[in-house]
Amino acid sequence: MAELHGKQGLKNEKIGQVVSVKMQKTIVVEVSRRVPHALYKRIIGKRKKFYAHDEEGRAKMGDMVRIIECRPLSKLKRWRLADIIRRAAQVGTQPEELDVKV
């Protein structure tokens, strides 16, 4: 199996939603998962934020993306953007729709 993936082996992957694009070449991805509570066995939602490298700035707020683990790129960045799974719905409004005199 190692021959199929080269010398690097399998990389850890996560799928999450982009919650911030305010930094240059960096996005913040929130990964949500549902796990049973250790004692009460009730399903609870857990979420964690990951800083990921986005060289071209392709990802936008609300996009569903896949991130892959990589070498440390900064103090917090250990992930890079692999691909965009689903784009967020872009809501565009025209000035005439807002009753604003231009």
What element of type H or E holds 13? strand 13-23
Each residue of 24-63: pLDDT tens digit?
999 999 999 999 999 999 999 999 999 999 999 999 999 9
Q: Which domains does the chain have, with CATH numbers?
A: 13-88 (2.40.50.140)
Its pTM stands at: 0.77
Each residue of 81-101: pLDDT tens digit?
999 999 988 877 666 666 656
d(CA 52, CA 30): 10
d(CA 18, CA 35): 21
Whether the per-residue pLDDT at 1 is higher than 50: the answer is no
